[in-house]
Amino acid sequence: MISFKPMLESEYGGYLAYFIPDYAAEIAANYGLPDADALAQATGEIAEDLPQGIHTPGNVLLCLIETASAEHVGYLWYRPDAKGRSAFISDFHILPDHQGKGFGKLAMAALEAELSAKGFEQIKLRVAEDNRRARHVYEATGFRVTGTNMSKTLKPR
C-alpha cells in the first residue's frame, strides 16, 4: 500500500534536486533547447509555480510512502480545483530504486480514492509523449488521452 505524507520543508530541497534536472531534460528533449537554457527555464518555472515552496497556496506537495516499510518511494504534486471538482497532477515521480514495483499504480489508486472521498470527480495531467513508463501507469489506471499538445520552434528573422 501507499500512503501520502505532506512534504516537509526539510524534504523540499530533495524534491527540487530531483525535479529541476528531470524537468530540464524534458524541456531540452521536447523543445530543442540547449541544456543550460533548459535548466534555467526549469529553475525559473518552479520558482514561479511554487514561490512559497511547500506553503504555496493552491498546491499540494506530498511524499509517497510505502506503508509496510514506511519507506519514501516518490513524490506527488497536484493542484486541486474544488469549484471544478478536479485535481491537476503537476508532477508524479517514483524514485528510481522503487520503479517497476507497482508503486505508481498503487499511488494513483490511493490518490483516486482520497480525492473521490473529498468529492472530486476528475484527475487531469499532462505527460510527455516519449515518457513510456508514465504513460503505461496512467493508461493502466484508467486515464485516457483527451488531447495532444503540439509546438513549433520559430526561427528568428
Whether residue 62 has pLDDT greater than 80: yes
Instruction: Enter the C-alpha cell of residue 126.
Output: 499532462
Nearest to 12, CA basis, from 58, 57, 63, 59: 63
38 pLDDT higher than 90: yes
* CATH for the stretch 2-140: 3.40.630.30
So what's the pLDDT on residue 155? 81
pTM for this prediction: 0.90
| pLDDT value, residue 127 | 85
Across the chain, what does the average pLDDT equal?
A: 93
**Distance of alpha carbon 48 from alpha carbon 43, whole angstroms:** 9
Closest Cα partner for 95 from 12, 8, 14? 14
pLDDT in tens, 68-95: 999 999 999 999 999 999 999 999 999 9
Instruction: Supply the pLDDT for residue 149.
Output: 78
Task: State the pLDDT confidence band at 30, using cuts at 50, 70 and 90.
Answer: confident
